[in-house]
Amino acid sequence: MLIALACVPLAIWLYLVFFHWRFWRVARHLPPVQPVKPSQSTVVAVIPARNEAAAIERAVRSLLRQDFPGLLRVIVVDDHSEDNTAELAQRSGSRVTVLPSATLEPGWTGKMWAVAQGVAEAGRLKPDYLLLTDADIEHGPSALADLVRIAESGSYDLVSYMVRLSSETIAEKLLIPAFVFFFFLLYPPAAIRSRRSKMAGAAGGCMLIHTAALEAAGGIAQIRSEVIDDCALARAVKSSGGRVWLGLTTQTRSLRRYTSFGEIERMIARTAFNQLRHSWLLLAATCVGLAITYLMPLGLLFSGNIVPALLGLAAWVLMSAAYYRMIRFYGRSVLWCITLPSAAVFYLAATVHSAIQYASGRGGQWKGRSQDLRATKAKAGPSG
């Protein structure tokens, strides 16, 4: 009986490594080498910003410095910031427009309401593309040109980078590479790019979308109440017949640092239970699945039985080998590969906490708002 059970995690990792769209192949997720210059398109970057004084100026200036042959304009939507976000954004350059956000309307999340206003303002310029990006993203000099090249060369309607996240503190070293690994396991980039698969996903920090594709997908209003808005937008685009590309980048990075385990836990808890469609049955299945996949191989090593121990060791080796390329992408030692089970336990605890927050009416906590609620799906303070 124990031998049969020991075969389960090994079978899971054999499938994940060899048959799950090679999600762990980091090199395949990097932008393709494309010597051809992009067309001289018009791009409008829309940045929703709420209390982002620490990063907004660097983020905007990185866009204004783009080596891009087309026309680029930047719209920052100040989402009722209580600091000098708007002032810092405005002084970044003459190609920047800062809009004060109107009061949040019912049925919208704060971010999507701000994005919708920015997209409406961008419509005045009739852009070919919209760059939907965050206020804490620093774009590499050729980032925009690369995004447009990918879109044009592959006829993609939505092109998204999982930007390089900070991995300097102990908490980040343990959990950030694992976060990206788990994300690609759930949303394999090869499956997202494939016409044969219905899988769709994107990373909200950096998304270039063709304006016609956004309109065909129903516009921002189509995802107005979505907490995981990036993946919802990708689904809307792909469902409407569009093509989606998701990959990694070495030059565009997040300026946000996570100095403690608690900060990363709150980041995960904000959306985890929403990812499970608020299903307690799926939560239970997730707990069991993670335990079998990541913890059981280690437990089998101490089973006292040589065959189950060897099967567990084989599963652990496959797990570590799959994780190795992500660890190297983030410049960490190979020894960090053995920490994936502990990272899985952390993310499982954050998911359970996410469910508890949702049950208590505090789901989707972000920037002082609860955005993942049973009835209204969004809740804001008096100022929106």
Question: What is the spatial distance between Cα 375 and Cα 378, in angstroms, rounded to a whole number?
Answer: 8
CB atoms within 10 A of CB 196: 6
**Residue 81: what pLDDT?**
96
Going 138 to 141 to 142 to 145, the CA torsion angle's sign is positive
Output the pLDDT for position 29.
96
Q: Phi first, then psi: give them for residue 379, nearest 5 degrees.
A: -145, 135
Residue 368 has pLDDT above 80, yes or no: no
Q: Where residue 380 falls among pLDDT bands split at 50, 70, 90?
A: very low
Q: What percentage of the chain reaches a pLDDT higher than 90?
A: 91
More confident residue, 340 or 93: 340
- Residue that has been written with the tokens 């789901």 in this structure: 363
Instruction: Give the confidence band of 343 by pLDDT, cuts at 50, 70, 90.
Output: very high
Q: Given the DSSP bridges, would you call strands 244-254 and 158-164 parallel, antiparallel or unpaired?
A: parallel
What is the widest separation between alpha-carbon atoms in the chain? 70
For domain 31-172+180-258, give the CATH number: 3.90.550.10
Q: What is the average per-residue pLDDT within 47-64?
A: 97
pLDDT value at position 243?
98
> How would you write 232-296 as a 3-class SS string?
HHHHHHHHCCCCEEEEEEEEEEECCCCCCHHHHHHHHHCCHHHHCCCCHHHHHHHHHHHHHHHHH
* Tokens encoding 12: 């899971």
pLDDT at 9: 98
pLDDT tens-digit series, residues 213-256: 999 999 999 999 999 999 999 999 999 999 999 999 999 999 99
- Each residue's pLDDT tens digit, 130-160: 999 999 999 999 999 999 999 999 999 999 9
Q: What pLDDT does residue 371 have?
A: 84
What average pLDDT score do residues 291-312 get? 96
Q: Is the pLDDT of residue 106 over 90?
A: yes
What pLDDT is stored for residue 73 in this prediction? 97
- The pLDDT confidence band at residue 383, using thresholds 50, 70 and 90, is very low
Enter the pTM of the model: 0.94
Q: What is the DSSP letter of 32?
A: P
Q: How many CB atoms lie within 10 A of CB 239?
A: 14
Ranking 161-165, 186-190, 377-381 by mean pLDDT, the lowest is: 377-381
pLDDT at residue 123, as a whole number: 97
Residue 203 has pLDDT above 90, yes or no: yes
Give the pLDDT confidence score for residue 35 in this predicted structure: 67
Domain positions in the chain: 2-21+263-370, 31-172+180-258
For residues 154-174, give the mean pLDDT.
97
CA angle 55/60/65 to nearest 5° reads 130
The answer to whether residues 211 and 118 touch, using CB atoms and an 8 Å cutoff, is: no
State the DSSP string of 69-80: SSEEEEEEEE-S
The 3-state DSSP class for residue 209 equals: strand
How high is the mean pLDDT of the chain?
94
DSSP class of residue 29 equals G
Structure tokens at 156: 């993609």
Neighbour count for residue 216 (Cβ, 10 Å): 16
- 384 pLDDT more than 50: no
Which spans in 292-374 are helix H? 296-301, 306-329, 340-359
